[in-house]
A and B are shown apart, each in its own frame.
Chain A
Amino acid sequence: MSRVVVVGGGPAGMAAARAAGAAGVEVLLVDSGARLGGQYHRQDSRAGTERFTLPSGVEYLGDSVVWALEPVAGGHRVHVRTGPADGPGRTGRSVDTPALVLATGAYDRALPFPGWDLPGVFTAGAAQALAKGQGVRVGERVLLAGTGPFLLPVARSLLDVGARVVGVLEAGEPVTGWLARPGGLLAGTGKLGELAGHAALLARHRVPYRRRTAVVEAHGTDRVEAVTAARLNPDWTVVPGSSRRVEVDAVCVGFGFTPQLELAVAARCALAGGFVAVDVAQATSVRGVFAAGELTGIGGAELSAAEGTIAGASAARLLGARPAPPVRALRKARTGRRFAAALDAAHPVRDGWRSWLREDTLVCRCEEVPYGELCAAAREREAYGGRSLKLVTRAGLGPCQGRICGRAVAELTGIQDAAATFARRPIAAPLRLGELAEDPGPQPEAL
């Protein structure tokens, strides 16, 4: 039977599955998490109850990764493995679908700095996932640094699990940024209320919030013992004489987000500005493939859910259903995008971060490629194309395949198209050779 396949169980994916289900079509929702909700609604994996419900007609497949996507006549074949990522005995399944919704979200963007490879340095998202998902605090004295409003809810999650948050350092000057776009600001009144709530909580816990300040170095031998925090100029170079040492046992950094593009790139969806390009119906450039949520632009959970609703309805329509136009979601998506654009403009990453690096600062941690070697190899061998750069420097060739370092490598060496260079991965998620070799069994589940 024909059905919609949704990849991703966060706000966008859940909304897409619900909308398609409500339109009366069968849905398969595939998510890598053990529970629904994604990063935003990260559920405590120890809790006994499931917070989210899905309509009947939606089959939910948790703990499942889509490791490959290939075109077939009339749609796409989705190759799935189900089971704990590190354990043996995952099972395989291949499903053909004429209507695929990609809602794979985004992950933290990290910038390299001296000492960022020490244990005790986390991305803000990883720290939050540990706190919300498992009740684990990454440290006793924790400092948050980066840019963007996401640092606030992370601070809150850390406080919730009993960590002492010694400060939130915002590298940018968000007030100035917001004032430049009053229209976008007003578009996000709901979101601002949420942020104000976080800010009030931080104030109650006397957590200092510092603007134009960043962690520019982490110190320690076996793990982080302290960091250097410094005031930043508007271009993010360090204000001379402003550095001070802060004793911490963990530091969490987040400089916005990078969309999880592998599957969209595998499906050959057109990109714009590093995100998947979609039309008003959330359709990508590829027929039968829709995208929703952070994959199409960073705008938060509410916007993601609105886009998911639209995408789910569009996918159902492709299968012959006749859902009513999702007017509310369309309106929400319009205002949400204005807010997202304002947010993006208010929290740019400035080039001055490069001045934090030293010759021996690792840029690619998997392959241990230091900044000096990266630039020297690219320059001396004139390897400025993405593919040759990777093979000459080894940057981005390790287990993370450039997910963490790709954007930094691209910026440091002048590669224009970071998304195409680092997101083109025919095998979109790691799997064992034995799993790949497995007999696929009878024909894939039909279109």
Chain B
Amino acid sequence: MVSPDIVVVGAGVIGAACAEALSASGLKVTVLDRAGIAGGTTAAGEGNVLVSDKAPGPELELARASRRRWPDLLAALREELGPTLAEAEWEAKGGLVVATTEEAAAPLAHFAAAQRAVGISADELTPEAAAQLEPHLTRGVTAAVHYPEDAQLQPVLAATTLLAAVRARGGEVRAGTAARGVTRDAAGRVSGVRTDDGTLACRAVVNACGPWAGSFAARAGAPITVLPRRGMILVTGPLPAGTVRRKVYDADYVGAVASSDADLQTSTVVESTRAGTVLIGSSRERVGFDETVRVDVLRELARKAVALFPVLAGVPVMRAYGGFRPYAPDHLPVIGADPRLPGLWHATGHEGAGIGLAAATGRLLADLYTGAVPEVDPEPFRVDRPAVIEGERAA
């Protein structure tokens, strides 16, 4: 058997995007996952491809690059794989951020102005104009900003599409194979990945284990700090088309993403899916990997969703599900080579934005690996920043 050039550990959307981009560069790629593919954080995601929730800075630049790349990538894969296998329910539906208190109105306007200054489409609307975009929206809107660039896709379809491309190019995807660590050659470089089925020889390994990336990095001998933050989502029964048209969220979302001071935060995001159901997110809890569902968290999500869309009060909740978002202490993704161990690469720490950021993350990692000039400045995401490699020691 011919050894792969590179092994990607983790078959979530980030691992899938890295594997796709690497295989597009002509490399032979094998993807491993200890469980089924796209069954962890990716399966618990809403499928957000957002620019609206990010302040100007490196993550917004990555988000913009990803927003440009996703539709092109999916179009190219449609040519390569056919329409069925490349279907990922992409919808460029736009986002609407609303403030519902007088106090929140000015910060939202300020946030949007800063985004406009760097070229984001962030159109301030009157409450009347917002009501025209979303007829069922609460009348208690004090300010609203429309983000036409916000989009959505179905994360598991997206990840499985990317992995199908990897297989079509001669790569391999092995579900149910846990990576236990790496082997090194005499020079100290990565020479393989240890699995329960033996060692898989390769020249490089990408750690795309999401919230479990810290654990794999430690086993590989190059620890990084990536922590889990729990999130819950409610799903309603199917509703008539047009009940909720865009991604609609309360402006307090902006604060929650960037913050790390509370152990529980909820901020409302309401959006419909192509199946007609409405997704209601999302909470942020720092509870480690505890999967226990807290009813007060679900209640808070429901309460805020009904406040935003009173019509939803009578709608049945069909299910609730949760997952773990991976975050680095400085809340920036970790993308690039690990300078401490040649041949080890990381792509993780995307917190709640991994679906959206995946396309550009895969491209960036592949560009860095092949020596191509990256579209996005990789410096802010580098592995050896203090928060990522010294936080480990502090923790």
Does A180 lie at the interface of the complex (its beta carbon under 8 Å from any beta carbon of B)? no
A433-B317, A434-B313 given; A387·B160 CB < 8 A: no
Determine the main DSSP class of B at the interface with A: mixed
B280-301 interface bits toward A, Cβ cutoff 8 Å, 1 = contact, 0 = none: 1000000000001111101100
A382-B163, A383-B38, A427-B319 given; A391·B234 CB < 8 A: no
* Chain A minimum-CB-distance residue to B314: A432
CA A426 – CA B293 in complex, angstroms?
Answer: 7
Interface pair B319/A388, CB less than 8 Å apart: no
- Kindly specify which of B57-65, B113-121, B302-310, B342-350 makes contact with the partner chain: B302-310
CA A17 – CA B317 in complex, angstroms?
Answer: 31
Interface pair A387/B318, CB less than 8 Å apart: no
Least CB distance, A84 to chain B, in whole angstroms? 14
Interface pair A391/B157, CB less than 8 Å apart: yes
Least CB distance, B183 to chain A, in whole angstroms? 27
Interface pair A433/B160, CB less than 8 Å apart: no
A360-371 interface bits toward B, Cβ cutoff 8 Å, 1 = contact, 0 = none: 000000010000
Does B209 lie at the interface of the complex (its beta carbon under 8 Å from any beta carbon of A)? no
Q: How many residues of B contact A (CB 8 A)?
A: 48
CA A382 – CA B175 in complex, angstroms?
Answer: 9
Interface pair A385/B175, CB less than 8 Å apart: yes
Interface pair A433/B313, CB less than 8 Å apart: yes
- Across-interface contacts of B275 in A (CB, < 8 A): 367, 394, 397
* Chain A minimum-CB-distance residue to B316: A430
Interface pair B317/A427, CB less than 8 Å apart: yes
Least CB distance, A266 to chain B, in whole angstroms? 7
Interface pair B43/A436, CB less than 8 Å apart: no
Which of A70, A383, A385, A431 contacts B316 (CB under 8 A)?
A: A431
Within 8 A of B (CB), among A347-385: 367, 380-385
- Across-interface contacts of B148 in A (CB, < 8 A): none
Does B109 lie at the interface of the complex (its beta carbon under 8 Å from any beta carbon of A)? no
- Across-interface contacts of B322 in A (CB, < 8 A): 426
A383-B37, A384-B36 given; A70·B160 CB < 8 A: no
Interface pair A381/B43, CB less than 8 Å apart: no
Does A99 lie at the interface of the complex (its beta carbon under 8 Å from any beta carbon of B)? no
Interface pair A388/B314, CB less than 8 Å apart: no
Does A399 lie at the interface of the complex (its beta carbon under 8 Å from any beta carbon of B)? yes
Interface pair B37/A385, CB less than 8 Å apart: yes
CA A412 – CA B320 in complex, angstroms?
Answer: 25
Does B154 lie at the interface of the complex (its beta carbon under 8 Å from any beta carbon of A)? yes
Which of A70, A385, A433, A438 contacts B315 (CB under 8 A)?
A: A433
* Chain B minimum-CB-distance residue to A383: B160
Least CB distance, A386 to chain B, in whole angstroms? 7
A interface with B by C-beta (< 8 Å):
68, 70-71, 77, 79, 88, 94, 266, 367, 380-389, 391-392, 394, 397-399, 401, 425-427, 430-434, 436-438, 440
Given A77-B295, A427-B234, A432-B315, 11 other A-B residues pairs in contact with their CB atoms under 8 A: A68-B293, A380-B84, A384-B36, A384-B175, A385-B37, A387-B39, A397-B277, A426-B298, A430-B318, A433-B236, A437-B299
B interface with A by C-beta (< 8 Å):
35-39, 43, 84-85, 154-157, 160-161, 163-164, 167, 173, 175, 232, 234, 236-237, 275, 277, 280, 292-296, 298-299, 302-303, 305-306, 312-322
What are 14 pairs between A and B in contact, CB < 8 Å? Answer: A79-B295, A380-B84, A380-B85, A382-B160, A385-B175, A388-B37, A426-B232, A427-B318, A433-B236, A433-B306, A433-B313, A434-B312, A436-B317, A437-B305
List the 7 closest pairs (A to B, CB-CB), nearest first.
A385-B36, A434-B313, A381-B160, A391-B156, A437-B302, A436-B302, A385-B39
